[in-house]
Every structure is written in structure tokens, then in C-alpha cells.
Amino acid sequence: MGDVFRALADESRRALLDRLNQASGQTLRELCAGLDMTRQSVSKHLAVLEEAGLVTTVRRGREKLHYLNAAPISDIAERWISRYDRRRVDALADLKKALEATPMSRPAFVYTTYIRTTPEQLWQGLTDPAFTRQYWGLAFETDWRPGSAMTWRLDRGDTEIADPEQVVLEAEPFTRLSYSWHTFTAEWAKAYDIDDEYRAAAAAEPRSKVTFEIEPKGDQVKLTVTHEGGDTVLEGVSQGWPELVASLKSLLETGKPL
């Protein structure tokens, strides 16, 4: 937690986080606009925020997009600061909710966390039904080869989602995994009590995709989840992914999902 508090102690870095909270996914040039700081200073502050896990970056061609990351705020609110007075806890919890509930700017939702595990175990957590059923309540039926079809088998309602466009896009074991998102079927909506209006809006958008990037960091692994899609889908996953990844983290670190 020390890196997080050191990063937040600087007023200029807090100002950058405020700007990303208003509109995440900005380039360095966009963040520099209107600030009384040199480009070099902004770049250095962003490096400190990224090292603390408060900012996540994604490459889009020659540009580097910066996203606000709620994971460290979540860790502070839920695991450490609860020993202090309730007023501070409530204020931080409100900030955490605001960060997680605010949809990331397009074209993607990006979320980063650090898990005390190995790349091999994290890969297993993302692909092995013995793990995915525990924290996600579903199993993927596929051979995890690029281009292979994926069937989503949900424990809830014993529902199967199969579609030729549900495929594995990239699979570099222990490093990178990407696949197209599931089809928004009536059976899926019924299993999760999703209203017809949301299902229809999500189904009308181009199929989205999710990418997991795995990077060893000492005795931990950095996991970055990037979900690209339309407005309706991103609004839903921006609330779902933080909870799902937190449960995966708990499963790998303690043996029990949230």
C-alpha cells in the first residue's frame, strides 16, 4: 500500500487521476492539455501512478492510452483502512464505488490487479473448469487454440451458449489470452434475470472481446483485463469484471472465491 499512498500524496498526481476519472483512456497529449506542467513532468507523474497500480496503459497503434484503475482503491477500502473511523471508511468506499461504476471511455474497459500466484496458476484459473466454476459459475468447452470454437456452459439453469462466432482469438499460455464474448441469448437472459431491453441492446452491438495479459512481477503476477465492445456491453462489464477478478484473486491466494 505504500506506493499507493506515496502516489496519492502529490497534488499534481491527484489532479491527473481526477482528469482520468472524468474521461479515462486519454493520451499523454490529451492529459497535458490545460495543465500547468511540462510534458516531461506529466510523463513522470504518470509513471509513478502506473507503478502504484492506479493507472493502467494500453497501446493503440502508436498511441498509449491511460486508464484509471480502481483495484488499489478497492484493496485499501476492503482490506486495510477499515481499522480507522467509519467516516473515513465510508468516504473511501464511496470513491471506490464511483471508480468501479463509471464506465471506462471507449474503446475499452481496462482493469489491472496484482495476484500473489504464478503465471501458470493464473492461466489455469482463467481456463480450467475446476477453477472457473468456483468463481464464475461456468465452464468453457474448447481446446484453447486460436480459431477454435467456445461453448459457454453456465451452472445457473444448466444453460449452454454456443455460436460459431464465439471463438478463441489468441492463446499464448501463461502470457496472453483473448476470446470473443458470448452471444446474448434468451436463455442467458433468463438464467441471470436480465431484462429484454438490455439483452436486445447488447445483442444489437458488434460482438465484443476480452483480453487477459499476464506479466510476472516478483512474487506476484500482474493481470490486465481489457474488454472492447459497444456502450451497452461495456457498461455491464465495467461493474462485473472488478467483482469477478477479485473473486479469482481470492481463489488463487486463499483457496476460496469471494
pLDDT, tens only, 23-48: 878 888 888 887 888 889 889 999 99
| 36, 93: one domain | yes
- Predicted TM-score of the model (pTM): 0.71
Alpha-carbon distance of 230 to 234, in angstroms, equals 6
Question: Regarding predicted confidence, which is higher, 119 or 67?
Answer: 119
pLDDT at 238 over 80: yes
| 54, 161: one domain | no
pLDDT at 13 over 80: yes
User: What are the distances in angstroms from CA 184 to CA 2, 25, 237, 244?
Assistant: 42, 27, 13, 19
pLDDT at 236 over 60: yes
Alpha-carbon distance of 91 to 116, in angstroms, equals 28
| 8, 28: one domain | yes
Question: End of a domain among 71, 102, 133?
Answer: 102
Alpha-carbon distance of 239 to 249, in angstroms, equals 16
The pLDDT value given to residue 110: 87
Q: What value does the mean pLDDT take over residues 68-89?
A: 59
What is the number of other CB atoms lying within 10 angstroms of the CB of residue 221?
23
Q: What value does the mean pLDDT take over residues 176-200?
A: 94
Question: End of a domain among 45, 76, 102?
Answer: 102
pLDDT at 141 over 90: yes
| 56, 78: one domain | yes
The pLDDT value given to residue 86: 47
Full domain range(s) for residue 31: 2-102
| 191, 225: one domain | yes
| 93, 182: one domain | no
103-130, pLDDT tens digit by residue? 444 457 888 889 999 999 999 999 999 9
| 128, 237: one domain | yes
Q: How many independent structural domains does the chain possess?
A: 2
DSSP secondary structure string, 155-213?
Answer: TGGGEEEEEEEEEEEEEETTTEEEEEPPP--HHHHHHTT--HHHHHHHHHSPP-EEEEE
| 85, 127: one domain | no
> ∠ CA 177-178-180 to the nearest 5 degrees?
150
| 134, 204: one domain | yes
| 156, 240: one domain | yes
Averaged confidence pLDDT in the chain: 85
Question: End of a domain among 52, 67, 102?
Answer: 102
Q: How confident is the model at residue 60 (pLDDT cuts 50, 70, 90)?
A: confident
Q: What value does the mean pLDDT take over residues 199-217?
A: 94
| 87, 127: one domain | no
Q: Residue 41 is part of a domain; what is its CATH number?
A: 1.10.10.10
Q: Residue 208 is part of a domain; what is its CATH number?
A: 3.30.530.20
The pLDDT value given to residue 106: 46
Please name which of 105, 81, 107, 4 lies closest in space to residue 48, comparing C-alpha atoms: 4
Listed ranges 52-56, 59-63, 101-105, 128-132; the one with the highest mean pLDDT: 128-132
| 242, 123: one domain | yes
